[in-house]
């Protein structure tokens, strides 16, 4: 259990520290958002964990990428069509200039690494490898690792969707629900943990690229421009 839970806890701990630490530590904690879970993942990988995760590139990987991009469009579209669904307040948006204009490129690079690379690996190991299988054995004495990946049961399907919803903000539920359902279905089809990580990574990378290049292209519904930075 620890190899799947610790990277998530490390990430969440850094987020909690960001809320209480002095401003002088902001840059360090921003870097730790990436370094802490990566360090945990690397440690457990070196111990022989995550044997179910295998790098398998094929033509189907292109399909995984396309599915991820399509799901990113599905994630963004409701907020473009109905801007009132977005969160309110300046604090709800990611600010790439948080450490000054000179740091923007570094901030965005680190955000891309964390959001589009580290998060998909960390979350999919937790959700689709651990939670999905553990949900079916938690009330027994069977080792969840003995279960095959992408094994459908209504219990595990619903638990994964609910946990995904619970780990996101309420204003995201409009898009989190269909995203969780559709990625579950794709996982059942592909039966490959690396494939669903690629889907997740493509979704996140596409959303971040949209925030960078498509902010202010759409109306906010009240005569202004719609920033997409709240999505990341």
Note every long-range contact of 21-25, with CB atoms under 8 Å and residues 24 or more positions apart, other chains counting: none
The confidence score (pLDDT) of residue 91 equals 57
Q: Map out the domains of the chain as residue ranges.
A: 1-51, 54-231
* Residue pLDDT tens, the chain, 232 long: 999 999 999 999 999 998 898 888 999 999 999 999 999 999 999 999 999 999 989 999 999 999 999 999 999 999 999 998 988 765 578 999 999 999 999 999 999 999 999 999 999 999 999 999 999 999 888 999 999 999 999 999 999 999 999 999 999 999 999 999 999 999 999 999 999 999 999 999 999 999 999 998 888 878 788 999 999 9
- Report the alpha-carbon distance of residue 93 to residue 162 in Å, rounded: 25
Contacts of 136 (CB under 8 A, 6+ apart): 144, 147, 151, 153, 155, 156
> Measured between alpha carbons, how far is 72 from 74 in angstroms, rounded to an integer?
5
pTM reported for the whole predicted model:
0.95
Instruction: Give me the residues paired with residue 20 across strands.
Output: none
Residues 29-62: b if buried by 16+ CB within 10 A, e if exposed: bbebbbbbbbebbeebeeeebbeebeeeeeeebe
């Amino acid at each position: 259990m620890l190899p799947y839970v610790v990277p998530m806890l490390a990430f969440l701990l850094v987020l909690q520290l960001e809320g209480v630490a002095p401003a002088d530590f902001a840059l360090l904690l921003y870097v730790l958002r990436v370094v802490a879970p990566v360090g945990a993942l690397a440690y457990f990988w070196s111990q022989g964990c995550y044997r179910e995760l295998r790098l398998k590139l094929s033509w189907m990987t292109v399909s995984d990428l396309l599915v991820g991009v399509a799901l990113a469009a599905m994630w963004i579209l409701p907020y473009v069509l109905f801007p009132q669904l977005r969160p309110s307040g300046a604090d709800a948006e990611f600010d790439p200039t948080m450490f000054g204009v000179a740091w923007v490129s570094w901030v965005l690079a680190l955000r891309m690494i964390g959001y589009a690379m580290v998060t998909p690996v960390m979350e999919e190991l937790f959700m689709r490898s651990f939670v999905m299988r553990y949900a079916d054995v938690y009330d027994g004495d069977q080792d969840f690792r003995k279960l095959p990946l992408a094994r459908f049961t209504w219990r595990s399907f619903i638990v994964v969707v609910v946990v995904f919803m619970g780990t996101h903000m309420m204003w995201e539920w409009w898009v989190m629900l269909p995203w969780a359902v559709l990625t579950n279905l794709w996982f059942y089809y592909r039966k490959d943990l690396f494939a669903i990580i690629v889907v997740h990574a493509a979704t996140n990378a596409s959303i971040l690229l949209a925030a960078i290049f498509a902010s202010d292209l759409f109306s906010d519904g009240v005569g202004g421009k719609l920033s997409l930075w709240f999505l990341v």
